[in-house]
Structure 1
Amino acid sequence: MTGLRSALTRSLNDYARKIGFIKEGDASFTGEDTKEGLTAIVSVKLPDPQFESQTKVKLLNAEVRGQVESAVVEALNAWMEQFPKEAKAIVEKCRTSARAREAARQARDLVFRKSALESMTLPAN
């Protein structure tokens, strides 16, 4: 999963810069921006898989991350070159997610500042 997330984020950021959606100095998309609404299945066959716990939630074989990442970057870049209209729509979705994340952060900060100011009391005359 880590290899998929990092490959997806890196590929979409690179493509967004290439087509001019992200300018120099602008913030890049985060992993949350790129994977919002995404459903993916990653199937990896290993001769000796090692898992984090008994429920086998997380794979511990570190070498798999790099292999998954390079395969996803290569395939995703080829797909975006082949289907630029769909790729632009995906990048636009990422941009919308990034704007929503930033607006939520600003609203949260405003609420914190407002509540901090309301809790302050001035000394009585």
Structure 2
Amino acid sequence: MPSLRKRLMALDPATVSTVLSLLPTILDQANKTIEKFKKSKRKDEAPDGAVPEPRDPAARIAELEAAVMQQAEAVKLLAEQHAITIEALRKEAARLDRRLRLMTAVAMGGVALGLGGLVIALNVLFR
């Protein structure tokens, strides 16, 4: 969609900076999540030849519940950040739409004045 791409390329610098300011937070959350998964995988792996010791099911359930709560908080934070980004983009799109409508009206007025001037000039010229 070339028109959408052109509109996105013409975003207000303030909107772009708002969106870009959220990216480090999102990336930080993603990195933390990846590190947690790596650490939990390392804990679950047993050394070569060793028999993994049985874990207390209640402790494992508590660990999983804590991990789920942390992930839920991270998802909630990301959703809030996405909502802020979407709202900023909507405001910018509305501003661009108003600007486009205004420029279209101005261009139509210019064409109308130009045609009127041409008609008057032709009438004066051929009299």
Task: Tell me the TM-score normalised to structure 2 length.
Answer: 0.38
Q: Which has the higher helix share?
A: 2
Q: Which has the higher contact order (CA 8 A, sep 6+)?
A: 2
| Larger Rg over CA atoms | 2
Query: What's the TM-score, normalizing by structure 1?
Result: 0.38
